[in-house]
């Protein structure tokens, strides 16, 4: 894993999500949503924290456990971001959906093993 490439990719994703929410609010006729306004913060903070945590011990980043935890973390972040987009779109539309909760649950289901595997690879 290349540090510079990883940091730049999280920053680009955050920038694209920031632009997406600005354009969506522009065409939303003045209606805003907190979920959509804060969508760009999730990849920025979680990606930055995970990047710092991953590269605090550079010898461990090449192991298969670390790679699996990294993939699980990215999957969790992608599902969480999709949940925020859907929540924001549904709130702006003025309706509700009970199915969005499942996105948050699945995101948490991927997040827990990612954290456990990261801790286990540090101990090992």
Residues 59-116 pLDDT 10s: 655 678 878 888 999 999 999 999 999 999 898 888 888 999 999 999 999 999 988 8
Cα gap 37→107, rounded to integer Å: 20
Inform me whether the pLDDT recorded for 58 exceeds 80: no
How many domains, in total, are found in the chain? Answer: 1
* Most distant CA atoms of the chain, gap in Å: 54
Inform me whether the pLDDT recorded for 5 exceeds 70: yes
The closest of 84, 112, 114, 117 to 100, measured between CA atoms, is 84
Cα 112 to its chain centre, rounded Å, is: 14
Domain housing 43: 3-123
C-alpha dihedral (111, 113, 119, 122), degrees to nearest 10: -110
Q: In terms of pLDDT, which residue wins out, 45 or 59?
A: 45
């Amino acid at each position: 894993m290349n540090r510079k490439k990883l940091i730049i990719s999280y920053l680009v994703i955050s920038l694209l999500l920031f632009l997406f929410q600005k354009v969506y609010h522009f065409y939303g006729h003045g209606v805003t949503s907190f979920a959509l306004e804060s969508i760009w913060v999730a990849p920025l903070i979680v990606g930055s924290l995970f990047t710092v945590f991953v590269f605090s011990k550079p010898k461990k980043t090449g192991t298969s456990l670390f790679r699996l935890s990294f993939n699980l973390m990215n999957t969790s972040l992608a599902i969480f971001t999709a949940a925020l987009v859907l929540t924001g779109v549904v709130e702006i539309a003025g309706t509700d959906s009970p199915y969005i909760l499942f996105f948050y649950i699945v995101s948490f289901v991927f997040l827990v093993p990612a954290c456990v595997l990261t801790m286990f690879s540090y101990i090992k």
